[in-house]
Structure 1
Amino acid sequence: MTDLHLIHEDAHLLVFDKPAGLLCVPGRGEDKQDCLSARAQQRWPDALVVHRLDMSTSGLVVMARGIDMQRALGDAFARREVHKRYEAIVDGVLPISAEWATIDAPLMADWPRRPSQKIDAAGKPSVTRWRALGPMTLQRAQERMATHVLLEPLTGRTHQLRVHLASVGHAIIGDALYASEAVRQLGTRLMLHSTVLALVHPVTRQTIRFESVAPFDARTGSGRTP
């Protein structure tokens, strides 16, 4: 397959809206070679990976065109100069507030359960801001309440949003790694989407901002193609 949802193209970078279920880079095995980077390179041979989304997470991904731009964008991510926002549907009810709350919990690989991550004092600093938009009753389980939340990772650790939310008792619906079986089955997919990506263009020095609507139905727990 070579389908791509292109959001932005210029001589220096590309922005895509990645669907859930598609890897950002090739995995191990012949069945894991189809990915966002491989599809992009068929049309833009100079396209290079800068950051990644989990296979089960959908949303905005930027790719560099050429090694110099890859280095410049990579440095911007490392300096936390790229603004990222996600939307998720999580299990349970979180308090609605105009203020952002913070989860500050270091993460490290859970080696016996790879690719899972875990909270550990010896892990790397990991910080997530969150704000609840409102509670809802899921149509797939009328007795189960959920909350629509905004998320802003201030660091970029593997599975950070998923682990942090599970750690406070509000796992993301549809999460096959960190949610209970009951919560996983509430959704047909992981209910997590990268909705906003903003950064200073390394060449033009203008601030560029991209947005994507979450491609899932919050109340039914079902996904749709973006």
Structure 2
Amino acid sequence: MGLFSAALTKSALKKAIKKRYITINGIAATTATFIQGGERISLYIPEETTASKTLIFPLKVLFEDDYLAIIHKPGGILVSGNSFKTIANALTQNLSPSTLPDATKPQPVHRLDYATTGILLAGKTSSSIRALNKMFEDKKVAKTYYAVTIGTMDVEGEISTTIDDKPSYSMYTVITSAPSKRFGTLNLVQLDPKTGRRHQLRKHLSSIGNPILGDKEYGTASLILNGKGMYLHAYSLQFVHPFTKKEIILRDDFPERFKKLFPIDTLIK
């Protein structure tokens, strides 16, 4: 039981089997191996012997303890993936090692798009990563975003569509609007996603004719903004810490480009 509780995910177990790190009675296991009961199952991961590059990428840490960390994600970097420059690869150098027995390499437990800025949650132990992933699955983490959108909007509304054959829901509230010579109207919008589909907020706002300023993928071709980034910011996270049971409410300050468009400090408290 200890072997499997130490594994982060099913995919991690599959990778370990594929790399022949798991043996049953001394013989390398496969995904077709059938367990009768009473076998000796071993997990052995060899130490890295080849030199690897180290990503030097300072991150702003908003909160950290032995279980988890919350950081600010800048725009223009992937959270994870096969690229060398990712938030996942930069976490170790920016966070203090956990002192707990199941400490592991810090791992983001949700995603923000490449161009999105804002608050990001990572686990520092195997049990914390599993618990946080479960909390996201069970919708026990409240996320609030802000975006700058183009065009006239209702003051508030709910957007409900199907994304990747799955239902998706987002709530929005227009905080303020301002006339724009180029874009007609720009809005500062609070967004509360109730599901977590890929590109959900971007797709939802585009579907009602109010794309996010700077969104090159879902925006209107004639209104594409180059060189300023996308105006979507993950502002806050709220959840109950899975181990200390304390309520965590954290906010991440707006990028300067938002403040140049709207008096953020007087609008958002």
CA RMSD in angstroms comes to 1.9
Relative distance call for 1:43 and 1:145 in structure 2 (3 A) is: closer
Q: Which sections of structure 2, spanning at least 5 residues, go unmatched?
A: 1-55, 96-103, 262-269
The alignment status of 1:103 with 2:143, answered yes or no, reads: no
- Residue in structure 2 matched with residue 38 of structure 1 by the alignment: 89
Q: 1:49 aligns with which of 93, 104, 108?
A: 108
Q: 180, 193, 209: which one pairs with 1:169?
A: 209
Q: 1 CA distance for matches of 2:235 and 2:227?
A: 19
Name the SS of the counterpart of 1:88 in structure 2: strand
1:210 alignment counterpart: 250
1:18-97 to 2 correspondence within 5 Å? Answer: 18-27=73-82, 32-44=83-95, 46-96=105-155
Letter in 2 for 1:164: H
1:147 and 1:219 map into 2 onto residues whose CA distance is 13
Match of 1:114? none
Match for 1:9 among 64, 84, 91?
A: 64
Alignment deviations for residues 112-144 of structure 1 (CA, whole Å, 9 cap, x no partner): xxxxxxxxxxx1111001001111134xx4562
- Decide whether aligned partners of structure 1 residues 142 and 178 sit closer, same or farther in structure 2, where only a CA change above 3 A counts: closer
1:155-190 per-residue CA deviation (whole Å, 9 max, x = no partner) reads: 001000000000000000100100012322277111
Quote the sequence identity (%): 29
Distance of 1:151 and 1:143 partners within structure 2 = 21
Number of aligned pairs?
Answer: 199
In structure 2, what is the Cα distance between the partners aligned to 1:216 and 1:144? 22
What TM-score, normalized by structure 1, do the two folds share?
A: 0.82
With a CA cutoff of 8 Å and minimum separation of 6, indicate the structure with the bigger relative contact order. 1
Cα separation, 1, equivalents of 2:160 and 2:183: 31
Given the alignment of the two structures, is residue 158 of structure 1 paired with residue 221 of structure 2, yes or no? no
Distance between the aligned counterparts of 1:162 and 1:135, measured in 2? 19
In structure 1, runs of 5+ residues without a counterpart are 109-122, 222-226
Contact 1:171 1:183 in 2 (8 A): no
Shift of residue 199, structure 1, vs aligned partner: 0.6
> Is the 2:175–2:188 contact (alpha carbons within 8 Å) kept by the matching residues of 1?
yes
Q: Conserved in 1, the CA contact under 8 Å of 2:107 and 2:122?
A: yes
